[in-house]
Amino acid sequence: MRKVMKFGGTSVGSGEAMSRTADIIMSYDCQRAVVVSAMSGVTNSLLEMMGEGGREVPEYLDWLRQKHHDAARGNISNELMPEYLEQLEHRISGLGHLVHLYRQDEDRVMYQDALASWGERLSSLTLSFILRTRGADSLALTSEEIGIVASGPPGNGSAVLPATESNLRRTLSPLLNEGKVPIITGYYGADLKGRPLTFGRGGSDYSAAVVANGVDADVVEIWTDVDGFMSADPRVVKKARTIAEMDYGEAAELAYFGAKVLHPRTIEPAKRKGVAVLVKNTFNPSGQGTRIHGLDRNSKELLRSVALKTGLSIVKIYSSELVYQPDLVAKILEAISADGTTIYAVSTSLSTLAVVVPTGSVPEACNRLKGFRDQVEAVKVKEDAALICAVGDGMLESCGVSAKIFSAVADVGANVELISEGASDIALNFMVGGSKAVDVVKRLHELYIGD
Ligand code: ADP
Ligand code: ASP
Ligand code: MG
């Protein structure tokens, strides 16, 4: 049995949480590679440090040093403490040096991902010393050291799976065979020049799935702060239920369209190798959790889970040329996504193309649309829209499903702004105004999932 265990920000967020996490890791004796996030709040601070007008750099560095000291205190033995402190200091000063370069240089983008990745370098070091204190043969390893290869735009990279697999066979598999417990930095890989490239916020789940793919693990466990994958975000729907088993497809749709419990691309590397994904609660380890795998379900539940993605905009492009130029839609979509902007939904009519993108990407998208001056008559943007992803069995097969879903939308007085239906067999996606989105999710849950 070989597994990859990923612990999120809250699971390593304090000395107490790190101690629980260490208990969980020590409670197994199979081969295990551990992937960690930064301590909660750390990545946000690193990003804040890169902005203008925040605290002075030494203040951030002191805060980081103190936070990790506090987590180490009482968890790392007196014998190991000096070695830990020396390595921690080495990493903190490495960060200081990098910020200095970042502030001096015109081409700041080059350093952004490296800086953002620093929290994982500190948390993995701390957890590995805690495990050594408990007698495990543990070592901290960075994504560069084991060879997680990444490509794509800054802040939104993807792993190059074949290259990563061949590296991990060489770097990581032998360590697992020897019974070592590697603690690996989540969130990023290294591009072909060896520069850190992050996988987007929450990217450590994806890192874990990539590692599981590379070492042919039997399971990848995502240890977080809720009991599993639930029928809705429990912060939005208090009575959300934990789902015992899910198919890869269901989890992938929900994660992509807003269920924050998994990074949007976590399922893909796991599914490729048939690795099961188990979502578990660090704060309730005896709970069953959710098992995500290739599942052939017979039961037909109208609604299994609802996800919500806010911060989106609908860009409507008006062009009478759409009828005459069959390739215009493709060209416009290519222009909008040229910088790596994710397009969440597309809908077309005779002379209109509606495209859903993150609100932050709208100015750049509109800028690039200026290149279509001769073909496009107008561009209108509806900001503050939210996408709701409803996942259930046989969304396409059963009659009246949409009617039922949209009656819930009408119940709360929301207006459906755009529908994407039929592309997936199990999901129905639609947009509503941001202010009504939570009410829609609550109503759908109340009607079709219940208490
Ligand atoms: P971690 O730091 O462990 O990666 P995250 O905060 O990224 O944890 O993800 C866990 C959070 O995801 C939960 O606290 C919960 O609020 C949110 N969440 C959103 N949708 C769901 C869902 N369908 N099931 C479970 N949790 C969800
Ligand atoms: N630390 C990163 C973030 O906050 C990655 C992660 O937590 O998965 O986004
Ligand atoms: Mg997360």
User: For residue range 216-240, what is the model confidence (pLDDT) as tens digits?
Assistant: 999 999 999 999 999 999 999 999 9
- 226, two tokens: 């809720």
d(Cα 249, Cα 257) in Å, to the nearest integer? 12
Kindly list the protein residues whose Cβ atom lies closer than 6 A to any atom of ligand 1: 8-11, 37, 202, 224-226, 229-230, 232-235, 259-261, 305
Residue 355 has pLDDT above 80, yes or no: yes
Residue 396 has pLDDT above 70, yes or no: no
Which of the four pLDDT bands, split at 50, 70 and 90, describes residue 301?
confident
Compute, in angstroms, the gap from residue 145 CA to the centroid of ligand 2. 19
Which of 36-40, 132-136, 164-168, 327-331 is predicted with the least confidence, judged by mean pLDDT?
327-331
Which of 149-163, 231-245, 395-409 is predicted with the least confidence, judged by mean pLDDT?
395-409
Ligand 2 atom having least distance to the Cα of 8: 7
Question: What residue's CA is closest to ligand 1, atom 19?
Answer: 233
Question: What residue's CA is closest to ligand 1, atom 4?
Answer: 8
- Answer yes or no: are the C-beta atoms of 392 and 401 closer than 8 Å: yes
Q: Is 386 left (phi over 0), alpha (psi -120 to 50) or beta?
A: beta
Q: Which residue has the higher pLDDT, 336 or 398?
A: 336
d(Cα 322, Cα 92) in Å, to the nearest integer? 55
CA atoms within 13 A on the CB side of 289: 20
Compute, in angstroms, the gap from residue 259 CA to the centroid of ligand 1. 7
79, exposed or middle or buried, with CB in 10 Å at 0-12, 13-18, 19+?
A: exposed
Residue 286 has pLDDT above 90, yes or no: yes
Q: Which residue has the higher pLDDT, 57 or 301?
A: 57
Cβ burial 113-139 (10 Å sphere, 16+ → b, else e): bbbbbbbbbbbbbbbbbbbbbeebebb
pLDDT of residue 213: 98
Mean of pLDDT over the chain = 94
Question: What residue's CA is closest to ligand 1, atom 5?
Answer: 261
What share of the chain has pLDDT > 70, as a percent?
99
Residue with tokens 């065979």: 177
Which of 36-50, 198-212, 397-411, 431-445 is predicted with the least confidence, judged by mean pLDDT?
397-411
Strand order in the sheet with 290-293: 138-141, 181-185, 31-36, 2-7, 219-224, 276-281, 290-293, 245-247
Give yes or no for residue 45 CB within 6 A of ligand 2: no
pLDDT of residue 141: 98
